[in-house]
Amino acid sequence: MAETTQHADTERAGEPGTGQRKSPPRPRGQLAKREGRAAYFFLAPWFVGIGLITIGPILGSLYLSFTDYSLLSSPEWIGLDNFQRMLEDERLHNSLRVTFTYVFVSVPLQLALALALAFFLDKGVRGLSLYRSVYYLPSLLGSSVAIAILWRQIFGTEGLVNQLLALVGIQGQGWVSHPDHALSTLVVLNVWTFGSPMVIFLAGLRQIPTMYYEAADVDGANGFTKFWRITIPLLTPIIFFNLVLQIIGAFQTFTQAFIVSGGSGGPADSTLFYTLYIYQRGFGSFEMGYASALAWFLLVVIAGFTAVNFWAAKRWVHYGD
């Protein structure tokens, strides 16, 4: 009995009974330090990448925005001259007008169409997965070069649109080659990429409890009242999320305007988006300093719109708290 008690005491002391002692447990502080060093080791490529690929170029462009730099000579410090030049640049002002028109027209239309289709699909349509995939596909391809080329062909003088109009006796025109209609074709292209916000709207609609609609039915509310009084208020966080993302994306539109206009922003600068003008100044005229100043101004504009959206959200977005 005494030997059994001694053996148990030995096991509890960490001795397996072979006469050899186990090494003492490592202090928790040392283990945490080792895990921390391992984490930093595996995160090192990310830190190097964000420093060299993201933060470095951002700081470099900030410096170049105060210089006269043509890629062929060393940057020359000129202070605020690039920003003063922006005040007198007529093409810059036109590019701002085109971009603001594009944002203010295409984003509301895109969100309205996305919400309408999401509301329709939320009613239990058969083959929902298929419809969701088909509608989401344009969001993946809409900003690609291939779709921009296809769009130029569809709205060209001999394109599909004019062929369809000819069937009903209407003489079409070159939609992308006419200054009054070229921007409209790009607005239609952006509205067509409604799939991404539609999927998010659909997920938001699925989260609205049905008890609110049941209570509204008891009170005799019609479909529009339920949509306006229940669906829209409970969906405002999703609407706000999509609105912020789509505005930021619309301000950065480049590929469609570049392909459709052949990089010129034509006809008559009607598709001269702000990002396309930055490209022309930087890689067409080799005015990298001025292009950097334009890029920073765009950043300020997008940040300003985002800040205003967050400020206004306090008055119309309901988070249920």
Same domain for 160 and 109: yes
Tell me if 40 is assigned to some domain: yes
* CA terminus-to-terminus distance, the chain: 67
Residue 258 lies in a domain: yes
CATH number at residue 219: 1.10.3720.10
Q: Up-side HSE of residue 203: CA atoms within 13 Å toward CB?
A: 10
Same domain, 205 and 275: yes
> Is residue 22 included in any domain, yes or no?
no
Residues 203 and 250 in one domain: yes
Of the candidates 77, 108, 141, which is a domain's last residue? 77
pLDDT single digits (tens) 52-92: 999 999 999 999 999 999 888 899 999 999 999 999 999 99
User: Which are the contacts of 35, defined by CB distance < 8 A and separation ≥ 6?
Assistant: none
- Shared domain for 124 and 166, answered yes or no, is yes
Q: Say whether both 281 and 305 belong to one domain.
A: yes
Let me know: does 290 contact 82? Beta carbons within 8 Å: yes
pTM: 0.84
Sheet strands (E) in the chain: 67-68, 76-77
User: Which residues lie below 8 Å from residue 9, measured CB to CB, with a gap of 6+?
Assistant: none
Q: Are residues 175 and 42 in the same domain?
A: no
Same domain, 120 and 206: yes
Do residues 237 and 305 both lie within one domain? yes
**Residue 176 confidence (pLDDT):** 87
Domain with 131, as residue range(s), is: 83-314
- Shared domain for 159 and 285, answered yes or no, is yes
Indicate the burial class of 136 (C-beta count within 10 angstroms; 0-12, 13-18, 19 or more).
middle
- Count: domains in the chain: 2
Same-domain status, 212 and 301? yes
What parts of the chain have a pLDDT lower than 50?
Answer: 1-6, 8, 10-17
Q: What is the pLDDT of residue 148?
A: 86
| Dihedral sign computed on CA atoms, order 26, 29, 34, 38 | positive
